Structure 1
Amino acid sequence: MNLLTGVSELDRVVTQQVARRVPPGVGRVLSGVEEAAESTKLWCGAAVAMACLGGWRGRTAAVAGLAAMTVAQLASNGVCKQLADRPRPPKEWFPHDEADDRPDSSSFPSGHTAAAVAFTAAVLPNWRAAGVACAVPAAMVAVERVQSGAHYPSDVVGGAAIGLASAWFVRRIPRLALRHWL
C-alpha cells in the first residue's frame, strides 16, 4: 500500500467514525460555531473584542491574528484550492443531511481551519489567555468540517498546517523587513 492509498483509507475511516459518533446535540453546537466562523466573522469579532478590551497587548494580538488569517485565506482558498481540485467526501458516508449543504469548491485544504488556526496561533504569542480562548472554537471548527461532510481529515490537517505557517510568517515579517532594509 502506498502513502496516498493509506491516507485515503485513513480519511475514509476517520470521516465515517466522526460522522457517526458525534451526538446530534454536539453536532448542532459545532454547526453553530462553524456558522459564526463563516466568512471569518468569529475571528473578526474576537479581534475587535481584543482591541477594545486588551489595551496595547490586545491590539497587537488582534492585528497579528487578522494578518495571519488573511495570509492563510489567500494561501488556502486563493492558491491551494485552485491547484488541488479534490472532490468533497461522498454524501453517503454521512447519516445526516448536513452533507447536502456544502461548497462546490475543492475539498483540500480546509479554508475554515486554516483561518481559525492562523488567527489563534498568531494571537497566542501576543496574548496567551486570548489565544487559549480562541483555541476552543478553532478546534470545534476543525472537527465540524469533518463531521458535517465538508472535508476529509487530511483537508483539515492541511488547513491547520497552512494556518500555522501563516502565523509563523506574519510573526517573522518585521524581522525579515528590518534585515532587508538595514
Structure 2
Amino acid sequence: MEAVTVFLDADRRLTRQAASRIPAGAAKVLSAVEECAERSKLWCGAAVLMAAAGGWRGRRAAVTGLTALAAAQVVSNALCKRLADRPRPPEEWIPHDEVEDRPDSSSFPSGHTAAAVAFTAAVAPGAPLAGALCAVPAGLVAVERVQSGAHYPSDVAAGAVVGLACAWLVRRTPRLVRKAWLS
C-alpha cells in the first residue's frame, strides 16, 4: 500500500511540475500539435501521404497504422476509460487557461497518446522513415496531455502501453489467423 501512495504522490508532483514549467512558446507548439492530432487528423493525414507516396509498402503501412489507431481508440476510450473513471487533475494545479478545454471523460488512460503510439508503432516496421517522422509528434502529444492538465503522467504511460499493445496485436493478427487456419 505504501508503494501505491508513493507512486500516486510522484504522479501528482510530476503533473504539477509539467503544467507549470514548460515555457509559453513550447506550450504553444505542444498545443498546435495536439490540435492537429485531435480526432486523429494528424495520423489520417500521415496515412494519406504514406499511401500516396509510398507505393504498396506505404499503403500497407498506412492501413496497418490506421487499424492499430482504431483498435487503440476502442480499447482506451470505449473500454478502459469506462472501467477506470479516474478524475482529471484538479484545475487549481494547472496555472494556465488550457485546463478549461479538457474533456469531461475519465483521465485514465490517455486516448490521444494511445492513438498516437499505436499508429506510430504499427507504421514503423513497414515504413521506418514514416515511423521515425511520426514518433516526434507522438511524443509531443504525450507531453502535451500532461502539460495541459488533461492527464496525469501515469495516464499517458498507460495510453502508450495500450497503443503499443494494439500495434503489436494488429501487426501479428495476420500471422495468428494463418496459424489458426493451418492447425
What TM-score does the superposition give when structure 2 sets the normalisation length? 0.98
Q: Are residue 64 (structure 1) and residue 68 (structure 2) matched?
A: no
CA deviations 1:69-115 (Å, max 9, x no partner) are 01100000010000000000011111101111110000000000000
In 1, Cα distance between equivalents of 2:54 and 2:75: 29
Q: Higher mean Cα deviation, 93-102 or 149-158?
A: 93-102
Aligned residue runs from structure 1 range 1-182, under 5 A:
2-182=2-182
In 2, Cα distance between equivalents of 1:6 and 1:100: 29
In 1, Cα distance between equivalents of 2:163 and 2:148: 21
Residue segments in structure 2 that go unaligned for 5+ positions in a row:
none
Tell me how many residue pairs correspond in the alignment: 182
Query: Secondary structure of 1:105's match?
Result: coil
How far is 1:8 from its partner? Answer: 1.1
CA deviations 1:42-78 (Å, max 9, x no partner) are 1001000000011111111101100100110000001
CA RMSD of aligned residues (A): 0.8
CA deviations 1:117-140 (Å, max 9, x no partner) are 000000000011100000000000
Q: Which amino acid aligns with 1:67?
A: T
Query: Secondary structure of 2:150's match?
Result: coil
In 2, Cα distance between equivalents of 1:76 and 1:6: 25
Query: Secondary structure of 1:135's match?
Result: helix
Q: Which amino acid aligns with 2:100?
A: D
In 2, Cα distance between equivalents of 1:60 and 1:7: 40
In 2, Cα distance between equivalents of 1:19 and 1:178: 47
Q: Percent identity?
A: 67
How far is 1:4 from its partner? Answer: 2.1
- Do 1:67 and 1:170's aligned partners in 2 also have CA atoms closer than 8 Å? yes
What TM-score does the superposition give when structure 1 sets the normalisation length? 0.98
How far is 1:12 from its partner? Answer: 1.0
- Do 1:7 and 1:154's aligned partners in 2 also have CA atoms closer than 8 Å? no
- Do 1:31 and 1:144's aligned partners in 2 also have CA atoms closer than 8 Å? yes
- Do 1:103 and 1:150's aligned partners in 2 also have CA atoms closer than 8 Å? yes
Query: Secondary structure of 1:170's match?
Result: helix
Residue segments in structure 1 that go unaligned for 5+ positions in a row:
none
Query: Secondary structure of 2:70's match?
Result: helix
Q: Higher mean Cα deviation, 154-163 or 50-59?
A: 50-59
How far is 1:7 from its partner? Answer: 1.9
Q: Which amino acid aligns with 1:106?
A: S
